[in-house]
Amino acid sequence: MEAGSQLNRRPETVVWWVSSRRMTVQVESNRTTGVIVKTAPVVRKFAGQPIHNLFKWMRQQGGFQKVRLPVSDRGRLSALR
């Protein structure tokens, strides 16, 4: 596969910024299944689970916010992993 063709491929994961009154974390989930594939250590217990389980848990903490990050922001966020 040529290097240029990889740029046009749709990423396999979705990157989320999620925040509650207790924490703010970056999480990656599989685009097709919605299963969490990468996460911060503080929410490691959710790895392998559907992203909505994490959303539900963080909603219970109050002040819940979630943002699906655009592909262009992923490079800047790699330092946070």
Least confident of 2-6, 27-31, 38-42: 2-6
Residue 16 lies in a domain: yes
**Residue with more model confidence, 17 or 75:** 17
- 64 within a domain of the structure (yes/no): yes
Q: Give this prediction's pTM.
A: 0.76
- Secondary structure (H, E, C), 27-50: EEEECCCCEEEECCHHHHHHCCCE
Query: Is 5 contained in some domain?
Result: no
Q: Please indicate, yes or no, if residue 36 is contained in any of the structural domains.
A: yes
The distance in angstroms from the start CA to the end CA of the chain is 28
Alpha helices in 1-81 (DSSP H): 3-7, 51-59, 74-77
As a whole number of angstroms, the distance between CA 6 and CA 15 comes to 18
> Can you give the residue range of the structural domain that contains 16?
10-72
Q: What is the pLDDT of residue 11?
A: 74
pLDDT at 7: 53
How many distinct structural domains can be found in the chain?
Answer: 1
